[in-house]
Structure 1
Amino acid sequence: MATTPPRRPRVLVLGGGLSGTLAAAALAPYSDGVDIVERHALPDTPRPRRGLPQTRHAHLLWSGGADAIESLLPGTTDMWLSAGAHRVPIPNGMVSFSPGGWYRRCWPEAQYVITAGRDLVDWAVRTQALALPGVRLLSGAEPVRLLGTRARVTGAVVRRADGTEESFGADLVVDATGRSSRAPAWLAELGVPAVTESVVDAGVTYASRRYKAPVDTADWPVVNVQADARLDGPGTAGTILPVEGGAWMVSLSGTRGGEPTSDEAHFTSFARRMRAPLIAEFLDRAEPLGPVAVARNTANRRRHYEKTGVEGFIALGDSATALNPIYGHGMSTAAQGARALRGVAMKHGISSKGFARRAQRAISRPAAAAWLLAVGQDAAFPGSVGKTPNFADRLSARYINRLVTTAGSDFTVVKALTDVMTLRASVMVLASPRVLFCAIRGPRLPPLEGPALTPVEEAVLHGRPAPTPTP
């Protein structure tokens, strides 16, 4: 007598951005179908879309995040690079002024970073995810509340553009609606105890502008001037990223009391007042391609869903852990969280008892590492809200500062810091005996007097014709 195969679970993803499409990619092989609900229309080309103001700012996809996406959606990296994204080696492809001084660029590649406009990053992931069997996109629809009880979420109510509402049942609901997620309130309506939150807010404001680069950007580095929390006053920072279309995406930031503005005349002068004027000097040679965009919603906010007992619901990306964008970890932690989600689904199955809590804990691990990196810095800036550094925090900060200073002339420390920053290794590698020995020994060479630039970069800086590459 033939037996009926067991019913496979259905998944409902709220939000069609990067986190939502990665969640769909992670769960599609282990479900009977994934429905993605997205409020705005999603373009089928790499162009701006409504509901994503972050697209106007610089984005980094560290190697830890890029590798996670590639494991979920093979071929995505090739799509990015074919469309004009850049793969920049780290640390030799960075001109970086850290609190410990200028980094040398004589080291071999330790990790890498993908630089591209956010529209391009999202488009490639979305295209790949929506091509998977069983994945369906419902755009022009907005989730308005969850269905279920305090013990289990069983779906969501969705409002369409014409105002009609429809109930979607699901064995698992994934909240990927971002920083503005209303899931805590929706869960409270079901009787779920309040989700605890941790917030650290340094009051960072971002100002970004796209420029036409004065040189071919094929081998252009990431240019980065970091803030130094040890100095009096607000922390200011800036980054130039090479992106598609022969452009630079430039983002400047300042903590509370030292914020940049949308004033176009103020943009370069703000960059000139940072700890080093290098970014402003490069911008003197470039042509603006649009207005200055400003963002202020940059607080580090962590919702501890892993501590709730409700089944049938998980949160991914900024819905669970939103990070200060200055460290570039948002997309990478979402990607690593999605990869962790796939691992739990593969091992236990979406319908298994305790799946949601198990999956949320797995998602929280890479986010927790990025959280420690972000709040460890942000809590030290004047006027920061949410956490006062204690003795252990201050001791840890002193050790990190020692490592950053030593990294100016020690590849062992450079690689350890790079592995941690790119989310390829745990922060525990910074306490390994070898790294600890290097920190005790300290810098082996005197600090550089200025940035380590190639002949092409020097030529751009001084307004000279770029030298012809040697064949």
Structure 2
Amino acid sequence: MTQSSPPRHAVVIGGSMAGLLTAAVLSEYATVTIIDADTFPEGPEPRRGLPQARHVHVMWSGGARAIEEILPGITDAWTAAGAIRRRLPTDVVTMTAHGWLPRWGEKQFTVSCSRDLLDSVVRARVTALPRVTVMQRSRVRGLEGTAARITGVRVDTPEGEGVLVPADVVVDAGGRGSRSRLWLEELGAGAVPQSEVDSGLVYATRIFRAPEGAHALGFPIVNVQSDPRVPVPGRTATIVPIENGLWQATLSGTRGGQPTGDPDAFIPFAEDLRDPIVGRLLRGRTPLTDVAVTQSTTNRRLHFEKADLPDGFFAVGDSVATFNPLYGQGMSVAAKGLLAVRALLRAGGLSRPGFGNAAQRALAPQVAAAWSLATSQDILYPGATGMRPKRGSGLLDAYVNRLMAGATVEEPLTAAFFEVITMTSPPTVWFRPEVLWRVLRSSDRGALKAPPLTAAERTVAGLDGPAGGAVGPGRRAGADGRARGAGPAGLSL
């Protein structure tokens, strides 16, 4: 905001991760009011408006780097608060649809911690910005303005109902429960098209006390994924070491194979997957919480970018698109999209005509890429409903399947796989000449046959039996039990 420009005010509906980042971006050009129905906790505590925080959340390196650009130093702040920076694929034991990935040297990274910790660090930074204020325990009841121009919002506050809060820009970051689509229709704006893909996914989470010595060792993330090519319900299990020496374990299952809230069934579910390693690691661990279950996991996309929006309005985050949470895309998509919005602001400021529509279009490419990755897999599961694959997509799927199979044995293909999955680069990376050449000549010959846990990791986890497998060529075992050079060799259970 320049000295000669008139004062500008922006309202952000919702103090979600997307809402907080939006406020940070807009605060360079306006005063910002975040309106949220909750009372914000002081630290990493649960809040009513974010029930999905109970489950495993992934902050991929693509999203972390984007947030770092918006809030410099945020990654160090997360780790100072107890989060763990994990190297990928070095610090992950993951069975993809095509098999176990080798634990090569670092290609990307992820930040491991509870969602409450992630949010609390960002919330503290954003709410301390001089141009940002928060209206807590307040609920937006509707947009104010016309089909041509939004001028503010009506809010129910502790002091009164229907309070007008004027704004030059209103951003909907209200999440999955957003009502802005209806509010726009009430103003006479055009309808917002919607797409859905529902695999019937249910996910269940429980927190366990990690075995003694696991945190000091740097115990890896352990994950067993489903194979959507097989016509059975897709079931997964994941252990993510988080702050305070805890393990957060999340199970999932699509229609016909969902987990339940029964605590006695939690570990047997994990043991009954394509590989039982997650269940074996949890067996004998002390649970610290009940089983939290969430069923609202439909992939839903509102195509605001195709609608004739009033000037002064756009939507971000889960208000635009919600994805199957197993892919960990939501926060990263929002952060990277907001970098595109910031570029718009720096090019023309907040007062440029049609800014809201331009911002919505700037967000769309990140949303579209994540949507394609998520729904192309989810629609394959039995009983899934929604958009079917476009004609000709079979050839593309065959190529991606070949790339993923190659990623189980070839380091450059593993790197390409993580470059896209972590939202660092768009899927077009998979079609670069050097990747295309390797995919066409790749095979899964020589792929790992068992979870690539090191001897030290097996010992601290209390797994029975001697470590099997040899340290392969170019891999020298270190004193800490981790392999050096190309990454750890596979160890049989």
**Is 1:164 equivalent to 2:164 in the alignment?**
no
**Equivalent position of 1:451 in the other structure:** 451
**Equivalent position of 1:278 in the other structure:** 277
CA shift, 1:336, in A, is 1.2
Instruction: State the alpha-carbon separation in 2 of the partners of residues 398 and 340 from structure 1.
Output: 32
Amino acid in structure 1 at the alignment position of 2:255 = R
**Is 1:205 equivalent to 2:225 in the alignment?**
no
**Equivalent position of 1:78 in the other structure:** 76
Q: Deviations over 1:97-145 (max 9, x none)?
A: 111111111x221100011101100011111111112100010100000
Task: Please show how residues 246-285 of structure 1 align to structure 2 within 5 Å.
Answer: 246-285=245-284
**Is 1:38 equivalent to 2:36 in the alignment?**
yes
**Equivalent position of 2:471 in the other structure:** none
Instruction: State the alpha-carbon separation in 2 of the partners of residues 345 and 258 from structure 1.
Output: 46
Task: Please show how residues 82-231 of structure 1 align to structure 2 within 5 Å.
Answer: 82-105=80-103, 107-161=104-158, 163-214=160-211, 215-218=213-216, 219-231=218-230
**1:285 touches 1:461 (CA, 8 Å); kept in 2?**
no
Identity, in percent, stands at 42
Query: In structure 2, the residue corresponding to 1:451 is in which secondary structure?
Result: coil
Task: Please show how residues 355-366 of structure 1 align to structure 2 within 5 Å.
Answer: 355-366=355-366
CA shift, 1:464, in A, is 7.3
Task: Please show how residues 207-356 of structure 1 align to structure 2 within 5 Å.
Answer: 207-214=204-211, 215-218=213-216, 219-309=218-308, 310-356=310-356
Q: Deviations over 1:331-355 (max 9, x none)?
A: 1111112222212111111110111
Seen in structure 2, the aligned counterparts of structure 1 residues 400 and 352 have a Cα distance that, compared at 3 Å, is same
Query: In structure 2, the residue corresponding to 1:88 is in which secondary structure?
Result: strand
Seen in structure 2, the aligned counterparts of structure 1 residues 96 and 463 have a Cα distance that, compared at 3 Å, is closer
C-alpha RMSD of the superposition: 2.0
**Equivalent position of 1:56 in the other structure:** 54
Instruction: State the alpha-carbon separation in 1 of the partners of residues 455 and 206 from structure 2.
Output: 26
Amino acid in structure 2 at the alignment position of 1:424 = T
Query: In structure 1, the residue corresponding to 2:387 is in which secondary structure?
Result: coil
CA shift, 1:392, in A, is 2.2
Instruction: State the alpha-carbon separation in 2 of the partners of residues 229 and 16 from structure 1.
Output: 35
**1:28 touches 1:34 (CA, 8 Å); kept in 2?**
yes
**1:209 touches 1:291 (CA, 8 Å); kept in 2?**
yes
CA shift, 1:12, in A, is 0.4
Amino acid in structure 1 at the alignment position of 2:456 = V
Query: In structure 1, the residue corresponding to 2:275 is in which secondary structure?
Result: coil
Instruction: State the alpha-carbon separation in 2 of the partners of residues 237 and 95 from structure 1.
Output: 14
**Is 1:65 equivalent to 2:69 in the alignment?**
no
Instruction: State the alpha-carbon separation in 2 of the partners of residues 114 and 285 from structure 1.
Output: 27
Instruction: State the alpha-carbon separation in 1 of the partners of residues 382 and 388 from structure 2.
Output: 11
CA shift, 1:248, in A, is 0.8
| Moved segments of 4+, more than 6 Å | 464-468
Instruction: State the alpha-carbon separation in 2 of the partners of residues 226 and 434 from structure 1.
Output: 27
**2:280 touches 2:463 (CA, 8 Å); kept in 1?**
no
Instruction: State the alpha-carbon separation in 2 of the partners of residues 339 and 97 from structure 1.
Output: 33
CA shift, 1:445, in A, is 4.2
Instruction: State the alpha-carbon separation in 1 of the partners of residues 233 and 214 from structure 2.
Output: 35
CA shift, 1:165, in A, is 2.3
Instruction: State the alpha-carbon separation in 2 of the partners of residues 159 and 426 from structure 1.
Output: 41
Query: In structure 2, the residue corresponding to 1:332 is in which secondary structure?
Result: helix
Task: Give 5+ residue unaligned stretches, structure 2.
Answer: 468-477, 482-493
Query: In structure 1, the residue corresponding to 2:32 is in which secondary structure?
Result: strand
Q: Deviations over 1:152-196 (max 9, x none)?
A: 111100001355221011110000000010000011100011100
Instruction: State the alpha-carbon separation in 2 of the partners of residues 468 and 54 from structure 1.
Output: 40
**1:403 touches 1:413 (CA, 8 Å); kept in 2?**
yes
Q: Deviations over 1:337-375 (max 9, x none)?
A: 222221211111111011111111111221211111101
**1:104 touches 1:408 (CA, 8 Å); kept in 2?**
yes
**2:281 touches 2:463 (CA, 8 Å); kept in 1?**
no
Q: Deviations over 1:262-296 (max 9, x none)?
A: 00011111111111111000001421111000001
**Is 1:375 equivalent to 2:375 in the alignment?**
yes
Query: In structure 1, the residue corresponding to 2:28 is in which secondary structure?
Result: helix
**Is 1:16 equivalent to 2:15 in the alignment?**
yes
**2:195 touches 2:387 (CA, 8 Å); kept in 1?**
no
Amino acid in structure 1 at the alignment position of 2:346 = M
**2:214 touches 2:460 (CA, 8 Å); kept in 1?**
no
Query: In structure 1, the residue corresponding to 2:392 is in which secondary structure?
Result: helix
TM-score (norm 1): 0.96
Q: Deviations over 1:378-402 (max 9, x none)?
A: 1111111112224422222222111
Amino acid in structure 2 at the alignment position of 1:401 = N
CA shift, 1:216, in A, is 2.9
Instruction: State the alpha-carbon separation in 2 of the partners of residues 364 and 128 from structure 1.
Output: 27
Query: In structure 1, the residue corresponding to 2:251 is in which secondary structure?
Result: strand
Instruction: State the alpha-carbon separation in 1 of the partners of residues 400 and 387 from structure 2.
Output: 18
Q: Deviations over 1:409-455 (max 9, x none)?
A: 11111111100001111101111221111111113741212011112
**Equivalent position of 2:401 in the other structure:** 401
459-468 vs 22-31, greater mean Cα deviation: 459-468
CA shift, 1:469, in A, is 4.2
CA shift, 1:46, in A, is 1.1
Instruction: State the alpha-carbon separation in 1 of the partners of residues 353 and 201 from structure 2.
Output: 41
Query: In structure 2, the residue corresponding to 1:151 is in which secondary structure?
Result: coil
Instruction: State the alpha-carbon separation in 2 of the partners of residues 443 and 461 from structure 1.
Output: 33
Instruction: State the alpha-carbon separation in 2 of the partners of residues 444 and 10 from structure 1.
Output: 56
Amino acid in structure 2 at the alignment position of 1:171 = D
Amino acid in structure 1 at the alignment position of 2:329 = H
Instruction: State the alpha-carbon separation in 1 of the partners of residues 463 and 406 from structure 2.
Output: 33
178-187 vs 385-394, greater mean Cα deviation: 385-394
